[in-house]
A and B are shown apart, each in its own frame.
Chain A
Amino acid sequence: MGYVAVRGGGLAIEESLKLLEYQRAHSGVTLEPDAIRRAFPDAIDQVMGESSLYAPDLAALALKQARGSIEEAVFLLRAFRSTLERPYVSRAVDTSEMRVDRRISAAFKDIPGGQVLGATRDYSHRLIDFDLAHETPEDQRECAAELERHFGIEEGALDEALLAADTPTEGSASEGRYPKVLDYLRSEGILPICDNDDAEPVDVTMGALEFPCARSARLQTLSRGMTQAVEAFGYAAIRGYGPSHPTVGELRHGMAEVCVDVPGEERCDAEDAYYLGSIPLTEVESVFEVETEEAGVTTLSFEIGYGLVMGGAETKAIAMSVLDHCLDLGDARYPTQDEEFVLYHVDGVEAQGFISHLKLPHYVTFQSKLDTVRTARSHESDAEGSGAAPSDAEAADVEAHAAESDGGASPDEASAAVDATVDEKER
């Protein structure tokens, strides 16, 4: 079979892009990115988390351009980040210093500082609120004002708080800093106390994944993974394709400070670092019961799976903690414990890119497959012809298949699509 280079379709692509833009503009509604950022914070969190880039305003703009498609917005943001320099690496963020606004434990009822629900849908009725269909800006303002009165944060409350600022009420908890729940088990010796491991982490954005991979590469890949993929694999692990049911020792959400050392200084004191701002994080420590056998004696102990994600993606953070533990176990019988299976398939841009490529022209490879099938069928027919003649129904079936295959793409369509591939690569 020979190859023939074809081109064409440029005009069709231009018209297609215009049609796409027309559909966006024709909707008759335009939203300011700021409005998108404020109205859909969870979607913004998902875009930033999967893009692995904290930039709320850009995420909102990407979501607008992508017409609400998370995967497209993630693609846009990942592409944008690749155009920027990265001159700084932050000091290691210590999550025990987070300013926490939600913190719960499924392991202990009574924890130092208490179980703080924060703002959560966990205990809400999942019923559509039809009143929102007709909500006006005025309705929204009234609702906010009423709740501000309820919480005591109406106008003037800050002045009162300023007066009271010199007399904090609950020690560190009043600033939103809480001890780690699992430190209790560490203090009892049930969980090991680890020293800081300052080994330089692997950066998966700077090179291809290599297996077996460092835990730092694993955690980074899971954290930037496609939300639903991480959740699906974590779910599968709990359902029987991995270790037993974990217990969420602690789930906390809050703001963590990002600081960088003075450039050029090897040992910079933490208090001399530059503060850049704070980012919202959700962290999970899950506890797994494990059996270990030594000298014929089986003992029970606990191990921790760790999850940390940008924003408030709690389910993803829990699933990440499950997968972190799964990949630590590394039992090849379970797909959720197979690093290559999990880490190669959770990245949204990789998955979307690979699956989307199936839409692009495969005319040559498919023609080759078609030739093979036709040849095989022809041989079968010959063999059957030398014996009994095929029935009318069998002959009609062969012809129908042949007609269907031939009717796939006209030469013109083929050239248009080939050109589309070329243009896509150039872009």
Chain B
Amino acid sequence: MRRRERTRILVDGDRSLARSMAAEVERAFPVEVLDDPREGLVMVKVRESAKRQTFYLGEALMTSCRVKAGDAQGLGIVMGDDRELAFDLALIDAAFARDGGPIDTTRWEERLRAERARIDAERALEQAVTGNTRVDFSTMEVEL
């Protein structure tokens, strides 16, 4: 599982998943905090669809953190003001940056896939509700 998919599950999913995985990293490696979790901004660039040009829509509050777990570095970034999650994400990122070692990240993939299924199901439910508002046009008969 690639980083984008993984971080999407960890950010949108249940917080307890990221915490438990991060706790495993803390137990397995000496952890050094390179950049304390802190708030900052990310500028959101968008591609408009009329002429396919890009522009800056605006900024979003985010929290970032950088750690070293063992000899691997990890970065955690999340939207909003959430220092705990940024720290946990950085630890998990460091674990995935390592090749081999005491944590077998392939073992985590099953938990990540299960959480993704839960997120997908939640969204499918939302879409089902939205689907009720899909317009069903019917053509009126015209009297001649």
Contacts and interface: CB of A to CB of B under 8 A. Distances in A.
Interface of A: 48-49, 51-55, 57-58, 81, 84-96, 99, 101-102, 109-110, 114-119, 151-153, 157-158, 161-162, 164-165, 168, 170, 173-176, 180, 182, 194-201, 203-205, 215-217, 219-220, 223-224, 256-260, 262-263, 269-279, 281, 283, 285, 304-306, 308, 310, 324
B34 interface: no
B50 interface: yes
Given A84-B39, A117-B135, A54 B4 contact: no
A88 B49 contact: no
B40 interface: yes
18 contacts: A53-B58, A84-B39, A86-B41, A89-B42, A89-B56, A93-B46, A117-B133, A158-B125, A215-B51, A224-B58, A258-B79, A269-B2, A274-B77, A275-B8, A276-B77, A304-B50, A306-B48, A306-B50
A116 B133 contact: yes
Interface size class of B (residues with CB under 8 A): 35 or more
Interface string B60-95: 111010000000000101111100000000000000
B142 interface: no
A294 to B, nearest CB: 21
Pick the most buried of A84, A99, A110: most chain B CB atoms within 10 A of its CB. A84
Given A117-B133, A276-B79, A270 B4 contact: yes
Given A54-B44, A88-B43, A283-B49, A276 B127 contact: no
A92 B54 contact: yes
Interface string B1-43: 0111101100110000000000000000000000000011111
Contacts of B43: 86, 88-90, 203
B133 A308 contact: no
Contacts of B118: 158, 162
A94 B47 contact: yes
A95 B49 contact: yes
B88 to A, nearest CB: 14
B137 to A, nearest CB: 6
A180 B48 CA distance: 12
B128 interface: yes
Contacts of B41: 53, 81, 84-88
Contact of A157 (B47, B125, B137): B125
